[in-house]
A and B are shown apart, each in its own frame.
Chain A
Amino acid sequence: MPIEIPKDKWPGSIRKVTLGATAAEGGTRAKTVTVGGQATMPYLHFEAPTPNQPVVAIEIKSRKPEDWSPLLAEVWGEAMADPAKWAKAAEAAGADLIVLALTLADTPDDAVKAVKSVLGATGLPVIVWGPGQAEKDNELLVPVAEAAKGEKLVLGLCEDKNYRTIVATAMANGHLIQCRTPMDVNLAKQLNILITDMGLPADRILMDPTTGALGYGIEYGYSVMERLRLAALQGDSMTQMPLIVTPGFEAWKAKESKVGEGVPAAWGNWKERAVHWETLTAAALMESGADILILRHPESVKRIKAAISELVTA
Chain B
Amino acid sequence: MALSGIQIYKLLPQTNCKECGFPTCLAFAMKLAAKQVELSACPYVTEAAQKQLAESAAPPIRLVTLKAAGGEAKAGNEVVMFRHEKTFYNRPGLFVRVKASEGAEAIGKKVAEADAYKVNYVGLDFTLDGFAVEADGGDFAGAVKAVRGASKRPLILIGKDPAALEPGLQALTGETPLLYAANASNWEAMADLAKKYTAALVVSGETPDALADLTQKIQAKGVEDMVLDPGGKNMSQMLTAWTQLRRLALKSNFRPLGYPIIAFPCDAKDEGVAAAQAIAKYAGFVVLSEFKPEAIYPLLVLRQNIYTDPQKPIQVTPGIYEINQPKPESPVLVTTNFSITYFAVANEVEGSGLPAWLVVCDAEGMSVLTAWAAGKFDAERIAKTIKGFDVASKVSKKRIVLPGHVAVLSGELEAELPDWEIKVGPREAVDIPAFYKQVLM
Contacts and interface: CB of A to CB of B under 8 A. Distances in A.
Judge A-B direct contact (beta carbons within 8 Å). Answer: yes
Interface of A: 2-6, 41, 43-46, 104, 132-136, 159, 161-162, 182-184, 210, 214-215, 217-220, 222-223, 226-227, 230, 256, 264-270, 272-273, 276-277, 279-280, 283-284, 287-288, 303-304, 306-307, 310-314
Given A159-B347, A268-B292, A6 B248 contact: yes
A303 B314 contact: no
A235 to B, nearest CB: 18
Interface of B: 82-84, 117-122, 208-209, 212, 234-236, 239-240, 243-244, 247-248, 251-252, 254, 257, 269-270, 272-273, 276-277, 280-281, 292-299, 301-302, 305-306, 308, 310, 314, 316, 339-340, 343-344, 347-348, 350-353, 430
A161 B351 contact: yes
A287 B281 contact: yes
Most B Cβ at <10 Å: residue of A44, A230, A310: A310
B305 A183 contact: no
Nearest to B243: A44
A183 B269 CA distance: 32
Given A5-B244, A284-B276, A273 B297 contact: yes
Given A183-B343, A280-B276, A133 B351 contact: yes
B338 to A, nearest CB: 12
A240 B302 CA distance: 27
A220 B119 contact: no
Contacts of B212: 3
B78 to A, nearest CB: 16
27 contacts: A3-B209, A3-B248, A5-B248, A6-B252, A104-B353, A136-B353, A162-B351, A182-B347, A183-B339, A214-B302, A214-B305, A215-B122, A217-B316, A219-B306, A265-B293, A266-B117, A266-B118, A266-B293, A268-B292, A269-B293, A272-B294, A276-B294, A279-B272, A283-B276, A287-B239, A311-B235, A314-B236
A266 B273 contact: no
Given A264-B119, A280-B273, A310-B269, A220 B339 contact: yes
B248 A161 contact: no
B376 to A, nearest CB: 21
B259 to A, nearest CB: 14
Contacts, number: 172
Nearest to A222: B306
Tell me what chain B mostly uses at the interface: helix, strand, loop, or mixed.
Answer: helix
B247 A6 contact: yes
B84 A223 contact: yes
B272 A276 contact: yes
Nearest to A230: B82
A217 B295 contact: no
Contacts of B235: 307, 310-311
Given A214-B298, A219-B310, A310 B236 contact: yes
A90 B118 CA distance: 37
Contacts of B350: 132-133
A2 B254 CA distance: 13
A218 B302 contact: yes
A46 B310 CA distance: 29
Contacts of B310: 219-220, 223
B308 to A, nearest CB: 6
Contacts of B120: 264, 266
Given A133-B352, A136-B353, A214-B301, A279 B273 contact: yes
Given A220-B310, A226-B82, A313-B234, 9 more contacts: A132-B351, A134-B352, A182-B339, A270-B294, A272-B292, A272-B294, A276-B295, A287-B239, A307-B235
A161 B293 CA distance: 43
A4 B58 CA distance: 22
A268 B352 CA distance: 39
Nearest to A104: B353
A133 B350 CA distance: 7
A287 B305 CA distance: 14
A135 B276 CA distance: 40
B314 A183 contact: yes
A227 B84 contact: yes
B344 A266 contact: no
